[in-house]
Structure 1
Amino acid sequence: MDIHDSAEARATFTAMENGTAQDWAIIGGHYGDFARGLPDRVLSHLRLLDGDFGGFPIDRMQHSLQCATRAHRDGRDEAYVVMALLHDIGDTLGTYNHPDVAAAILKPFVTEEVHWICQHHGAFQGYYFFHFLGMDREAREAFRGAPHFDACAEFCAKYDQAAFDPAYPSEPLEFFEPMLRRVMARPLSSPYAKAIAA
Structure 2
Amino acid sequence: MSVVEEIFANLEARGAAIYGGEAVTQLQHALQCAVLAHMAGAPATLVTAALLHDYGHILTDDEDAAERGTDLQHEEIAARHLADWFPEDVTEPIRLHVTAKRYLCSVDPAYLDSLSPASATSLSVQGGPLGTEEISDFRRNPHWQAAVKLRHWDDTGKDPKMTTPALAAFRGMVTSALREEHEDAHG
TM-score w.r.t. the length of structure 2 is 0.69
Pairing 1:147–2:142 present: yes
Cα distance in 2, alignment partners of residues 183 and 88 from structure 1: 17
Residue number among 74, 79, 84 corresponding to 1:98 in the alignment: 74
Pairing 1:107–2:83 present: yes
The percent of aligned pairs where both chains have the same amino acid is 25
Which one has a bigger Cα radius of gyration?
Answer: 1
Structural RMSD (CA) = 2.9
**Unpaired runs of at least 5, structure 2:** 63-71, 106-114
**Corresponding residue SS for 1:99:** helix
How many angstroms does 1:164 deviate by? 0.7
Give the 4+ runs in structure 1 shifted more than 4 A. Answer: 108-111
Cα distance in 2, alignment partners of residues 122 and 183 from structure 1: 22
CA contact (8 A) 1:45 1:89 kept: no
Q: 2:8 maps to what in 1?
A: 43
Q: 2:26 maps to what in 1?
A: 60
Q: 2:129 maps to what in 1?
A: 137
**Unpaired runs of at least 5, structure 1:** 1-33
Cα distance in 2, alignment partners of residues 179 and 100 from structure 1: 23
Q: 1:74 maps to what in 2?
A: 40
User: Which one is further off, 58-67 or 129-138?
Assistant: 129-138
CA contact (8 A) 1:64 1:85 kept: yes
Q: Which has the higher contact order (CA 8 A, sep 6+)?
A: 2
How many angstroms does 1:132 deviate by? 6.5
Q: 1:132 to 1:114 in 2, by over 3 A?
A: closer
Q: 1:179 to 1:125 in 2, by over 3 A?
A: same
CA contact (8 A) 2:48 2:90 kept: no
Q: Number of matched residues?
A: 155
Q: 1:168 maps to what in 2?
A: 162
TM-score w.r.t. the length of structure 1 is 0.65
Paired letter, 2:54: D
Q: 2:94 maps to what in 1?
A: 118
**Corresponding residue SS for 1:92:** helix
Q: 1:114 to 1:38 in 2, by over 3 A?
A: closer
Cα deviation digits, residues 29-69 of structure 1 (max 9, x gap): xxxxx6xx211111111121223333211111100000000
How many angstroms does 1:109 deviate by? 4.8
Question: If each structure's helix is expressed as a fraction of its own residues, which one has the higher value?
Answer: 2
